[in-house]
Amino acid sequence: MTGSDWLKPQISRRKTIHDVAKAAGVSISTASKALNDNGRMHPDTRERVKRIATEIGFRPNALARGLLSRRSLTIGLLTNDTYGRFSLPMMAGASEALFDNGVSVFLCATNDNPELARLHVEALLDKQVDGIIFSATRLDRRPPMDLSNLPIPVVYVFAEGPPGSVTIIPDDEQGARLAVNHLIEMGRKRIVHITGPEDFRAARARSSAYHRICGDSAPTLFGEWTETWGHEAVERLWSRETPAPDGIFCGNDQIARGVIDALRDRNIQIPKDVSVVGFDNWEIVAEQTRPALTTIDMELKELGRQAGLAVLALSKGETTVGGTRKLHCSLIARQSC
């Protein structure tokens, strides 16, 4: 050993199928069949080979596995979400689901630019990915380019897919019902809804669910997805001659944070005088609001996991029913109620 050899990390040789076969006392062919769950052999032999492979630290070569299965074991995630507010939780869910199957994910941001989207898609096809997941920042947003004629399967999550495609979205109506019913359970009688622009499908869906519970005359205030709009909406509500609300359902957490700040500026106690529920469970906002915000979680990670499993099934040639799947939201109770 030279004077500098002790500085070098000691990297062990990668175990091969030959090592597994030798340790298990079987042929290379038998070891391969056991690890790939094919061929005929005694179940005890198959399990023993797998156990020994794990014990000696054998890890299959991804390229070799891909050649055998005629798949690249990679998936592309194409998104217009530059900041990662929605795409990163969904990618985490997809990655977890796919990693368990030895599949990796490439993240590509399109910035809503058709030319950039085209370049990303061409690069993904050149890499021979097994499928693509497209996600967006709103449910009624389509990809900046047509993905319906690609030679690989495409799954749409938190976005709008073409008719018959596998599309996975949160159930906004069910989430809104959770929010409104929670306020009612808290004893609130005069509930108003403050939300984002009416041209968003999610805003319309949540407002519709709110009206079905509270009545057509119950007020919905459409505006922007901002704290500033939350402040402004409170000013409008408290300037009216009608009784002030005692419960407010907000279309997202940023609006809810603005609402709470504006109520505190008026020395209105939360939740004693007014209870507030948000939508999104954007933890960096919800947990730092004072008081901490009760909100609806869209389960973005689970959306991504389901999208990952769907594109994996399609890439394997399995039959998957097309159409829109709505996943249930959940209520995260904190101090604002």
CATH code of the domain in which 156 resides: 3.40.50.2300
Both 185 and 283 in a single domain? yes
Both 138 and 231 in a single domain? no
Report the C-alpha gap between 316 and 314 in whole angstroms: 5
Both 217 and 314 in a single domain? no
Half-sphere exposure of 39 (CA within 13 A, CB side): 13
- Secondary structure class of 78 (helix, strand, coil): strand
Could you tell me if residue 191 is inside a domain? yes
**Quick one: pLDDT at residue 124?**
93
Query: Which residue from 275, 282, 283, 69 is spatially nearest to 179, judged by alpha carbons?
Result: 275
Q: What is the CATH number of the domain that holds 53?
A: 1.10.260.40
Cβ–Cβ < 8 Å for 156, 134: yes
Could you tell me if residue 81 is inside a domain? yes
Both 29 and 79 in a single domain? no
- Does this model's pTM top 0.75? yes
Could you tell me if residue 2 is inside a domain? no
β-bridge pairing 294-297 and 330-332 = antiparallel
**Quick one: pLDDT at residue 247?**
98
Could you tell me if residue 16 is inside a domain? yes
pLDDT along the chain (337 residues), means of 10: 43 69 85 76 88 80 47 87 89 90 89 93 92 94 91 95 94 98 97 97 97 95 98 96 94 98 96 97 93 97 96 88 94 97
Both 313 and 289 in a single domain? no
Both 280 and 181 in a single domain? yes
Could you tell me if residue 240 is inside a domain? yes
Both 179 and 250 in a single domain? yes
Instruction: Name the helix (H) or strand (E) containing 327.
Output: strand 323-327
Could you tell me if residue 246 is inside a domain? yes
Both 108 and 188 in a single domain? no
| Locus of tokens 């796919």 | 98
**Quick one: pLDDT at residue 57?**
79
Could you tell me if residue 6 is inside a domain? no
Both 278 and 310 in a single domain? no
Domain count, the chain: 3
Cβ–Cβ < 8 Å for 135, 158: yes
Both 178 and 132 in a single domain? no
Both 56 and 100 in a single domain? no
**Quick one: pLDDT at residue 131?**
95
Both 162 and 179 in a single domain? no
Residue-range definition of the domain harbouring residue 256:
172-297
Report the C-alpha gap between 159 and 324 in whole angstroms: 10
Could you tell me if residue 249 is inside a domain? yes
